[in-house]
Structure 1
């Protein structure tokens, strides 16, 4: 593997890239490969690849978008900022299939009905990009990922936007994403509180692997179905995970319930500190990052940086300013409730909302017990 460690992280799978110099023959076929979901965060939404198979030249390769190099200088800062360079890699299909079978993730294949000149053009475009600057791109969670890159490459060679949503969708991006983490409450909560207003827009962009697979069933090209054959290469054996109290809303309710019932001033202030620091983090990330999904994050009204200001005035024993900041935070909390009342994750944050209201309303404005 040399000095490069490639990994797909949050929608990314580990592969070593290589280049194929073979030219495809008249017998070449191209297909879209869809990988099913899994529990780890990088596999939560599945994966899309594009396969070229040619029995004449013994070519059988899958191209994958979304690889990056952990050795990139300032890797974590660039990842958070959203200017980390991702790139396309290729892998023998046998290795590709084995790795996903090993992870117990389903593998589906949809063969495309394209003329051989289009298949050759598509293969050459992607294969040649492995050794050019076109190999690199700036990843965007919704707008530019492993699925959208495959869509763009196919649409480019067929000179159309055949693969796309055919009409505006009624669901928002947040609603589309929400069910993928239904069995992992803490991950689902984390995803929803770090996302801002962009994911509340109507989901007019086709960006998830399983949605692409469904959409391809109805796509037509030159008056005929684009997909000629759909097959299941491997069907994962799904098992319903046992109930995990430590990854459920009940854990959150119990922890917050303890804080409310103990009515301990120091514990309340620790809780306010955590809220304030999280709010400060969300605010700074929104200013720092190029990821549009984390911009304008109204969850800072729940995890509010002004809790830190409130604690400061408690430390200074400034009664007047304590009152003003306290009621200001309560006002922002009411606004937050109005904003999330119709959001899919309302139940997830409801225990936090109620706890914040209770603790703020009964917080005294002086330091006497």
Structure 2
């Protein structure tokens, strides 16, 4: 359904709520006739679908009407969409759609669909319904999206928690999470290795803080799992499971993400050693190849440094702030490109290049020492293992000049 069509549906639902008090449907039925479910959709193939999706389903048991409410709408055609995306100012919308239409889309895409019927009192179900329709109003429908703390799942989680008077948060904040934001991101993006590496390189220490189950419920599959452990009061003064029943409506037909995050230390460490060995060998055997390969590394290191610096200073992507990978890849690399080409003729580096090289080696040492200090949060060991041999190989080759032959010593 197009954005215009979905907005028209929202308008019709609100209109039905206001103008049809005699008709029993989701908008105005009594709380005892409302059945509330959490619908969880498995990860998709496209990168923005890798985290999965979910929705709150309201069903009128009298009329049979079913409506899914979710918080995952965005519009590529929105003015300055990509600029705002780069700045970390993503504008998302709430959406409402008939359950059949919504679920059919995911079934056709091969993504799993699971329904968990939830135990809410009639008063809680009616309060949730009223909140969701209030949230659909034009003045309330939008929100500023954040990957980890304010996304389509945290909004669903918070709406359910609001209906239960904070019972979900009270329970889940006492339970430890299984992974960090970084580990979950790398795990779910592992099907796209290059994108996985870019995201891992760009995440700062924020992504490595330990999470509790409430925080880790930013993912649909984690929220689905975590609410299975919650109990709510019953009519007899005891407790009953919050999840009354769980049904797999459609199985997954796509590749399943791994259960754990891949360990990037060995592959990146091996890649760094291989690149360093090739640089040294090329310096001895093929100077043009050495200069070209070294230039590619330096340009990429400089560009990555500029991007990480921009994410920290110019955007609201707080998960990328204070990134220690800036010690490994930074704009100092640009200073060394000319010296790299001069070194193939054994020419001495300029003072500027010497200073830049010493600063870069000092930055590498600081990056190593940081991991020996207590309380260090950011887990960037894979990138240290990659960068260290590359920079040492470049430093060694750049210092192999021949001053005795009287060649120029200044750039």
Q: TM-score range by the shorter chain?
A: 0.7 to 0.9
1:11 maps to: none
SS of equivalent to 2:336: helix
1:234 maps to: 250
SS of equivalent to 1:111: strand
1:268 maps to: 294
User: Aligned partners of 2:105 and 2:193: how far apart in 1?
Assistant: 27
Is the Cα–Cα contact under 8 Å of residues 271 and 386 in structure 2 kept in the other structure? yes
Structure 1: segments with no counterpart, 5+ residues? 7-14, 242-247
- Bigger Cα displacement from structure 2, 306-315 vs 42-51: 306-315
Structure 2: segments with no counterpart, 5+ residues? 17-26, 234-238, 258-265, 284-289, 343-347
- 1:306 deviates by 1.2
Structure 1 residues 175-194: aligned runs within 5 Å: 175-194=183-202
1:98 maps to: 104
SS of equivalent to 2:194: helix
Alignment CA distance shift 1:349-1:89 (3 Å): farther
- 1:361 deviates by 2.9
2:165 maps to: 159
Residue 303, structure 1, aligned to residue 329, structure 2: yes
Is the Cα–Cα contact under 8 Å of residues 44 and 111 in structure 2 kept in the other structure? yes
Instruction: Give the counterpart of 1:40 among 31, 46, 64.
Output: 46
TM-score when normalising by structure 1: 0.84
1:253 maps to: 271
User: Aligned partners of 2:360 and 2:48: how far apart in 1?
Assistant: 36
1:244 maps to: none
Q: Number of matched residues?
A: 353
Residue 321, structure 1, aligned to residue 352, structure 2: yes
Instruction: Give the counterpart of 1:208 among 214, 219, 227.
Output: 219
Structure 1 residues 1-369: aligned runs within 5 Å: 4=3, 18-19=9-10, 20=13, 21=16, 22-25=27-30, 26-163=32-169, 164-169=172-177, 171-204=179-212, 205=215, 206-222=217-233, 223-239=239-255, 253=271, 256=275, 258-259=278-279, 261-263=281-283, 264-311=290-337, 319-339=350-370, 346-347=381-382, 350-364=385-399
User: Aligned partners of 1:240 and 1:62: how far apart in 2?
Assistant: 25
Is the Cα–Cα contact under 8 Å of residues 68 and 86 in structure 1 kept in the other structure? yes
TM-score when normalising by structure 2: 0.76
User: Aligned partners of 2:29 and 2:278: how far apart in 1?
Assistant: 66
Alignment CA distance shift 1:95-1:259 (3 Å): farther
SS of equivalent to 2:197: helix
Alignment CA distance shift 1:276-1:231 (3 Å): same
- 1:182 deviates by 3.4
- 1:266 deviates by 3.7
**Which structure features the higher share of helix residues?**
2
User: Aligned partners of 1:239 and 1:175: how far apart in 2?
Assistant: 19
Is the Cα–Cα contact under 8 Å of residues 291 and 341 in structure 2 kept in the other structure? no
User: Aligned partners of 2:369 and 2:91: how far apart in 1?
Assistant: 38
CA RMSD of aligned residues (A): 3.2
User: Aligned partners of 1:332 and 1:108: how far apart in 2?
Assistant: 49
